[in-house]
């Protein structure tokens, strides 16, 4: 080690020790903060007050941004940091709250409760103090006993079995039991439930995968079938677990899902399949990749990391979906002339028309994705 280098080491070590000491103090303040937040949650629970308070969060952020400027810190940095802290305290709060049952001790039968999505809901019901029963494919001999005095039946089986399961279970149900399904289509299952069960009926579609640990801010679409009042406690329970409930009709739901689930995944499939077909140099393209390309290719890679049968079910679910996808493929033929003629002006005209149609969402998307790209750069 030469003299200059030793000199440098002598000077940098105390600075690094200072930083380490500051970090320890920050850490112990965060632990104290967490303890205080837990006291707030306990107090709110005791008074039956909802724990998540967006207004207070935004007030806090505004105040901290102002304080940051006065302390020579970047306000955006401070906001990023506190979004992480507030998110953590919200997760903590939700973990504590989600145990609360709207109708504890009510009897819930989950058909397909040994599967992933069924298992997720069964687990939530158990934590919240419900009496949970599971009916798997091999349990149909005991179905009668499992249905005894049941308050809610939740069907979580593959799409192609849903209609048949509804037909089999309905005659065994008490007339007052709420019958609900978790299928990603709603028209046929809801009709089938209304046809076979005389009591309350609710169509439910959770818009998330089964690998979550909590429902915080996750969206669940609910389509009313029959006797909304009798189904109310169940949707309240979903809200209490942190989910955001979106009301729809089976028709509207299915029309929107043609786009959101079928077309979107199919476009991604086509892109991935063509890359594979062309034997594109995937690894090398990633070395060349801007964060946004990495993110977009990541969306494609993500699809193919998942269950092929599940996506076949989702994409091919209904004749309407398959017709839409065929229409998509055939409509692309319109672009062949544009490419052959190198007609940039036509492209620009179409581009502008679409941009206008997208409207303010485009700018919002730009802001949101820029935020995410920053996160991605930060991480890797």
Site for its own copies in 87-106 (CB under 8 A): 87-88
- What are the Cα distances from residue 200, in Å, to 29, 74, 87, 174, 229? 51, 54, 37, 11, 9
Closest CB to its own copies among residues 181, 216: 216
At residue 89's C-alpha, the angle toward residues 88 and 93, to 5°, is 120
Whether 230 and 197 have beta carbons less than 8 Å apart is answered as no
Closest CB to its own copies among residues 5, 105: 5
Q: How far apart are CA 281 and CA 53, in angstroms?
A: 49
Site for its own copies in 258-317 (CB under 8 A): 259-260, 263-264, 267-278, 280-290, 292-302, 304-306, 308-309, 311-313, 315-316
- Grouping H, G, I as helix, E, B as strand and the rest as coil, residue 57 is helix
Closest CB to its own copies among residues 23, 149: 23
Q: How far apart are CA 339 and CA 139, in angstroms?
A: 58
Q: Locate 334 and state its tokens.
A: 């319109």
Site for its own copies in 115-154 (CB under 8 A): none
Q: Which of 3, 55, 213, 333 binds its own copies (CB under 8 A)?
A: 333
Q: How far apart are CA 155 and CA 106, in angstroms?
A: 17
Burial class (CB in 10 A: 0-12, 13-18, 19+), 349: exposed
Closest CB to its own copies among residues 105, 279: 279
Closest CB to its own copies among residues 137, 351: 351
Binding mask 24-53 for its own copies (x = CB under 8 A): xxxxxxxxxxx-xx-xx--xx--x-x----
Closest distance between its own copies and the C-beta of residue 333, in Å? 7
Binding mask 209-238 for its own copies (x = CB under 8 A): -------xxxx-x-----------------
Residue 294's CB: how many other CB atoms inside 10 A?
Answer: 17
Strand partners, 97: none
Q: Is 320 in the site for its own copies (CB under 8 A)?
A: no
Q: Is 251 in the site for its own copies (CB under 8 A)?
A: no
Applying CB under 8 A, the span of 195-203, 223-231, 232-240, 362-370 interacting with its own copies comes to 362-370
């Amino acid at each position: 080690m030469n003299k200059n280098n030793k000199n440098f080491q002598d000077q940098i070590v105390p600075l690094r020790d200072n930083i380490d000491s500051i970090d320890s103090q920050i850490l112990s303040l965060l632990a104290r903060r967490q303890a205080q937040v837990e006291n707030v949650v306990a107090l709110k629970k005791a008074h039956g007050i909802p724990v998540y308070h967006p207004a207070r969060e935004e007030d806090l952020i505004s105040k901290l941004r102002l304080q940051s400027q006065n302390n020579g810190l970047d306000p955006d940095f401070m906001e990023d940091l506190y979004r992480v802290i507030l998110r953590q305290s919200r997760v903590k709060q939700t973990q504590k709250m989600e145990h609360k049952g709207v109708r504890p001790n009510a009897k819930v039968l989950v058909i397909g409760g040994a599967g992933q999505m069924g298992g997720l809901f069964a687990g939530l019901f158990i934590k919240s103090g419900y009496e949970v029963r599971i009916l798997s494919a091999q349990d149909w001999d005991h179905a009668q006993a499992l249905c005894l005095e049941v308050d809610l039946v939740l069907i979580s089986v593959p799409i192609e079995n849903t209609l048949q399961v509804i037909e089999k279970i309905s005659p065994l149900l008490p007339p007052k039991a709420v019958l609900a399904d978790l299928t990603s289509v709603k028209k046929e299952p809801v009709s089938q439930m209304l046809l076979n069960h005389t009591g309350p009926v609710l169509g439910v579609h959770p818009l998330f995968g089964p690998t979550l640990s909590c429902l915080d801010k996750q969206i669940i679409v609910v389509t009313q079938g029959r006797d909304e009042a009798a189904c109310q406690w169940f949707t309240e329970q979903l809200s209490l677990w942190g989910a955001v409930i979106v009301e729809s009709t089976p028709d509207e739901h299915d029309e929107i899902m043609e786009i959101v689930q079928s077309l979107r995944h199919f476009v991604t499939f086509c892109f991935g399949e063509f890359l594979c077909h062309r034997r594109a140099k995937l690894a090398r393209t990633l070395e060349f990749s801007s964060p946004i390309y990495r993110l977009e290719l990541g969306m494609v890679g993500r699809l193919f990391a998942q269950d092929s049968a599940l996506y076949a079910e989702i994409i091919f679910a209904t004749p309407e979906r398959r017709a839409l996808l065929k229409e998509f493929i055939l409509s692309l033929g319109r672009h062949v002339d544009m490419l052959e003629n190198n007609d940039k002006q036509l492209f620009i005209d179409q581009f502008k028309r679409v941009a206008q149609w997208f409207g303010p969402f485009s700018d919002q998307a730009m802001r949101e994705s820029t935020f995410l790209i920053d996160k991605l750069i930060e991480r890797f």
